Structure 1
Amino acid sequence: MEIKIRRRGRDIVEKTVAKNEEEEEQPLSPTARLFHAPEFNCNIISVIGLKGKIEPDMIIEGIKQTLIKHPRFSSTLVNSGSNSSQEPKWVRTNVVVEDHVVIPKIETQNVNADAFLESYVSDLTTIPLDTSKPLWEVHLLDLKTSDAENIAILKIHHSVGDGMSLMSLVLACTRKTSNPDEIPRLPYKNPSSSGSTYGSRGGSRLLLLVMVIWSAIMMVFNTVCDALEFIATILFLKDTETPIKGDFQLTKSKRMCIVHRTVSFDDIKLIKNVMKMTVNDVILGVSQAGLSQYIKRRYGEQEESMPKGIRLRAAVLDLADMMAKGSTCRWGNWFAYIVFPFSIALRDDPLEHLQRAKSIIDRKKKSLEAVLTFIVGNFLIKFIGVQRSANVIKRALSNTTMSFSNLVGPIEEISFYGHPVTYMAPSVYGHPHALTMHFQSYNNKMTISLTVDPTVINDPHRLCDDWEDSLRIIKAAVQERGSHSVG
C-alpha cells in the first residue's frame, strides 16, 4: 500500500488581510481555549461516503462559494502560545482553498479498501493541523469501499465549533438531491399544546400548582445530587477498571482507531414508537445492552467471571440545537455534558436495558446538571486559567469511562457539492477516553462511529457487532410484546 500526498495549488502560507481593509478579530471562547490545551487537543473527523466519481474542481469551487465565507473557516489563530500575555484571537485571513484540500494518490491493488480507509483515518489522528492556516482540511479519496463509491473526509479542530454548529454549517453547504436549489432539512418536533389540558376549574389549577412546586423541588434535589457526584468524580470517584477503560494519567499523543457501522433507522423508530420512548432512550438502551455483551466477552465466556456492580459512566454531550427554527444559539463551542451511568449486566429481558436507560434520562431531564457543568467549566477557565482548568476537567473525565453523543441529520438524501451522500460518520479524538460512541442519523439510516484507543480496544468491529446484535434482539422482543398486546 502506497500513499503519496499531493496538495493542490501553491505551497504558501496565508497572509492576513491588509490593515486598510476590514479585518475581523474575535477572542476564543473559554471552551475553544480549552481545546487548545495539550490535555484536550481535540479534532473532529467526519467521514462522508459519496456516490459517483469525485470531481475535485467542483468541490473546491463549492468550498470557495460557501465554507470559507464563514469567519471560523477563514481565520487563523494568533497569540495562542502558552507564554503569550494576550488572549488568543481568531483573525481573518486570505484563504487559498487548494492548500486545504488533500488528494492522496492511492495504490490499492490487493488491498482491502475498507481497511485502507480505517488506516488512513487513523493516521490523520497523529498529524496535527497547520496552525499557520485556518484549522480545517478536506481529504478526497478515490476509493470504492463496501458502502460508498468515493470518500470525502473533513478534519476540523474542535475549537472552530461544536458538533451541532459544524453540522449546521455543513448542511448549509449541501443541497437536496431531489431539488438542487433547496437546503436539506432536519426533523423537528412540534411543540405540544399547553394550557388546555387543565381547563379552568379550581381543582385542576391547584393540581397544576402542586405539580409545578414538586417539579421545582425535584429539580433542586437532583441538581444538588449531580453537583455532589461531579465534585466527587473530580476528587476520588472512579469508574471500575473494565477492559474498555483507558489509563490517561500520563499525557501523550495516541493513534486512535475510528470505525463505523450503518443500521436501519426504521428499526430504532419502531422500538421508539412501541415503547413510547425517544430516539435517545433507544440508542442509550441498545448501547447499554451492546456494552454489557462486549464486556462480558472480554472478561470470559462464564457469566460469573464478570464482576457485579460495575460502575461505568459516559460523558453524554448536551449540544445546543443550532438548527432549531428561530434559534438564537451562537456559533462556537456552546455545549455541556451530563454523566450517564450505564447498568452493565446481562438481562433475561432485553427490554430492561431500554427501561433503565429511559428512567435515568427522565431523571436527568429534571436536573440542571448540563447547565452546571457549562458554568463550572467557564468559571474555572476564567479564574484559574486554561492549563489548570484542563487538568481539573481531564481528571473528571478520566475518572469516567467513555464519551457519547447523538446528532440529528437530514431526513432525505443530500449532495455534497454535487456529489450524492450515502452516509455521514462524524467522530472526535483528543479527549481522555479510550472509547467514544457517536450516532448520526441521515436519510432513514443511523451510523455508529466508534473512536477507540487500539491498545485498550483492539477489536472495535466486534463492539459494532454486539451493538447491532443487541438492536436486533431488542427489536424482536418489542415485536413479540406488540403481538401479545394485540392478541
Structure 2
Amino acid sequence: MESLGPIRVSKKDSEDGQPLSPMARFFHQPYCDVYTITIMGFNTPINPLVFKASLRHSLLKHPRFSCLPVVEKGGEMRWVKTEVNLDNHVRVPVLDPNMESPDKFVEDYASNLSKTTITKSIPLWDVHLLNVKTSEAESTVIFRIHHSLGDGISLMSLLLSCSRKASDPEALPTIPTIKRRNPSNSGGLTSWQFLLKLWWLVLLCWNTIVDVLILLGTIFFLEDTKTPLKGTLPLGLAQRRFVHRTIILDDVKLVKNAMGTTINDVMVAITQAGLSSYLNRKYGDDKTYNKGAEENNNNLPNNIRLRAALAVNIRPSAGIQISSFPNRITLWFSNVPGPEEEISYFGHPVAFIALTVYGQPNALVIHVVSYASKMKITLSVDKNIIPDPYQLCDDLQNSLDLMKNAVITNQRTDPKLYTTG
C-alpha cells in the first residue's frame, strides 16, 4: 500500500478542507486500502467522447472526485481540492473486436486492476471503457473508486444521479424504498399479549448483551475457524478474481413472500446454504475415499465459527453502511438496492450492474445488487484461497433453486403461501 505521508497545504486549504470521516480513515489503514469496483454492461458500444464529456459535467461536480486525502501535521486527514485532468482518470484501451474470448478478457482486465492502486497524487478514482462485445453486453465500463470516497449506497446514488429511465430520458431512476410495518392499532393489550411482549423485550436485551460481548471478543481475540474460505493476513495486495452470476428477482421474492421475511434475509439464507454446500464438498474431497459429497454426507467439522460482516442500513432511505473488525471474520456481505427499471447512463442503455471490492483482509466478499427484474451476485475472491469461484456461484444458485422449488411444492398444497410483491 502506498502510504499517506505529511503534505504541506496552505492555511486556506487547511481551513476549507473537510476532515475525513472515521470510516473514510478506516479505508486508509494497512490491509484495508479498499477500492470499489462497479462493472456496468451496456446494450450499445460506448462513445468515449460523450462519456468523457459527461463525466466532466457530472462526476467532477462531486467534491470528493476532485479532492486529495492529505495528512496534516498531527496526523489529521483532510480533503483538499485539486485540479483534475480527465486524461489521468479515463482509460480507453484499443481492443480487438474479434478477440477469441471477450468474456475472459473483461474478467481478466478487472482482476488485473486488483493488483494495482491509484497514486495518491491524483483523486482516487478511474474509469475503464472496454468496447468489446461479451455474452451479456455490447460494451463494458469499469469504475474503480477508493472506498474512502463513499460507501455502497452513496456511490450507487451518485451513479443513479447520472442515469435516466430507459423509457423516459428525462426521468430519474426509481430506487426501492424500505417498507416499514405499521404499528398495531388494536388498542389495549390482553394480559397474554403483554406477557409475550415482555418476554420478547427480555430476549431482545439478552441477545443485545450477548452480541456486545461477542463483538468485544472479536475485537480482542475471537477469530473464525480456519476453513477453505478463510484467508490469513496479509491479503490486502493479493490479486482478486471477480465473478458474477445473474439470478431472477421474482424467484427471490417468491421465497420472501412465502416466508414473510425480506429480500435481504433471503439472500443471507442463500449465502449460508451455498457456503455450507461448498465447504461440505471441500471437506469431503479431503477424505481419502473422496465420497462425502457424492453420498451427500455431512462432512463439516463440528463447531465451525464462520461469520460475515453484514452491511446494515442506519439511514431513513434504503441503503447500507458497513462497520466491522474485518480480519478476524471470514467474509463481507453487502446487499445494495439498484434501480427498479432499466436505465441509461450518459445515453448508453445499461444491460447489468455488478458491484464488488478489493483490498480488504478477507478472502471472500459477496455483493448483491438488484437491477430491474434481475439481481447480480458478485464474488470477490483471493484466488490463492478460493481457486474455484464459479463452483461457489453454482452453489449459491442451487441454494436459491432448492428454496424456490420447495415453495412451489408447498404452494400447490397451500396457495396462501404465495403472494405477489
TM-score range, shorter chain: 0.7 to 0.9
User: TM-score scaled to structure 1, two decimals?
Assistant: 0.76
Distance, in Å, in 2 between the alignment partners of 1:322 and 1:154 is 27
Give the superposition deviation at 1:282: 1.0
2:143 paired residue among 144, 148, 154: 154
Q: Hey, what does 2:280 align to over in structure 1? A: 296
Q: Hey, what does 1:277 align to over in structure 2? A: 261
Are 2:402 and 1:473 aligned?
A: yes
Equivalent residues of 2:43, 2:139 under 8 A apart: yes
Query: What are the ranges of 5 or more consecutive residues in structure 2 without an aligned counterpart?
Result: 1-7, 286-290, 417-421
Q: What SS class does the counterpart of residue 107 from structure 1 fall into? A: coil
1:304-323 CA distance string (max 9 Å, x none): 54323322111112244474
Distance, in Å, in 2 between the alignment partners of 1:472 and 1:191 is 28
Equivalent residues of 1:17, 1:92 under 8 A apart: no
Distance, in Å, in 2 between the alignment partners of 1:169 and 1:236 is 38
Equivalent residues of 1:315, 1:404 under 8 A apart: yes
Q: Give runs of aligned pairs for residues 92-171 of structure 1, distance below 5 A.
A: 92-107=81-96, 109-171=98-160
Distance, in Å, in 1 between the alignment partners of 2:363 and 2:68 is 30
Are 2:380 and 1:451 aligned?
A: yes
Distance, in Å, in 1 between the alignment partners of 2:346 and 2:273 is 39
1:266 paired residue among 250, 274, 277: 250
Give the superposition deviation at 1:232: 1.8
Q: Tell me which moved more, 63-72 or 432-441.
A: 63-72
1:76 paired residue among 68, 72, 86: 68
Equivalent residues of 1:398, 1:432 under 8 A apart: yes
One-letter code aligned to 1:111: E
Distance, in Å, in 2 between the alignment partners of 1:317 and 1:192 is 21
One-letter code aligned to 1:228: L
Q: Hey, what does 2:223 align to over in structure 1? A: 238
1:36-59 CA distance string (max 9 Å, x none): 112210010010011111111111
Equivalent residues of 1:164, 1:319 under 8 A apart: no
Q: Tell me which moved more, 63-72 or 447-456.
A: 63-72
Give RMSD over aligned pairs. 2.6
Q: Hey, what does 1:317 align to over in structure 2? A: 311
One-letter code aligned to 1:315: A
Equivalent residues of 1:437, 1:449 under 8 A apart: yes
Q: What SS class does the counterpart of residue 26 from structure 1 fall into? A: coil
Q: Tell me which moved more, 409-418 or 216-225.
A: 216-225
Q: Tell me which moved more, 434-443 or 289-298.
A: 289-298
Are 2:231 and 1:221 aligned?
A: no
1:400 paired residue among 329, 334, 350: 329
Distance, in Å, in 2 between the alignment partners of 1:66 and 1:224 is 46
Q: Tell me which moved more, 277-286 or 412-421.
A: 277-286
Q: Tell me which moved more, 301-310 or 208-217.
A: 208-217
Q: 1:308 to 1:179 in 2, by over 3 A?
A: same
2:25 paired residue among 26, 29, 33: 33
Q: 1:17 to 1:110 in 2, by over 3 A?
A: same
1:338-361 CA distance string (max 9 Å, x none): xxxxxxxxxxxxxxxxxxxxxxxx
Give the superposition deviation at 1:79: 2.1
Equivalent residues of 1:48, 1:151 under 8 A apart: yes
1:150-170 CA distance string (max 9 Å, x none): 001110000001111111111
One-letter code aligned to 1:318: V
Give the superposition deviation at 1:21: 11
One-letter code aligned to 1:432: P
Q: Hey, what does 1:306 align to over in structure 2? A: 300
1:222-269 CA distance string (max 9 Å, x none): 221111111222333222221111111x46521111111111111111
Give the superposition deviation at 1:291: 1.1
Distance, in Å, in 2 between the alignment partners of 1:95 and 1:323 is 32
Distance, in Å, in 2 between the alignment partners of 1:195 and 1:309 is 40
One-letter code aligned to 1:254: A
Q: Hey, what does 2:4 align to over in structure 1? A: none
One-letter code aligned to 2:274: G
Distance, in Å, in 1 between the alignment partners of 2:372 and 2:210 is 39
Distance, in Å, in 1 between the alignment partners of 2:250 and 2:68 is 43
Are 2:49 and 1:64 aligned?
A: no
Q: 1:422 to 1:323 in 2, by over 3 A?
A: farther
Distance, in Å, in 1 between the alignment partners of 2:20 and 2:200 is 37
Are 2:175 and 1:183 aligned?
A: no
1:429 paired residue among 338, 350, 358: 358
Equivalent residues of 1:175, 1:182 under 8 A apart: yes
Equivalent residues of 1:164, 1:320 under 8 A apart: no
One-letter code aligned to 1:112: S
Give the superposition deviation at 1:451: 0.3
Distance, in Å, in 1 between the alignment partners of 2:12 and 2:364 is 49
Distance, in Å, in 2 between the alignment partners of 1:23 and 1:253 is 34
| Larger helix fraction of residues | 1
Count of residue pairs brought into register by the alignment: 399
Are 2:324 and 1:335 aligned?
A: no
1:397-423 CA distance string (max 9 Å, x none): 222211111000101001110001111
One-letter code aligned to 1:57: L
Are 2:29 and 1:44 aligned?
A: no
Q: Hey, what does 1:352 align to over in structure 2? A: none
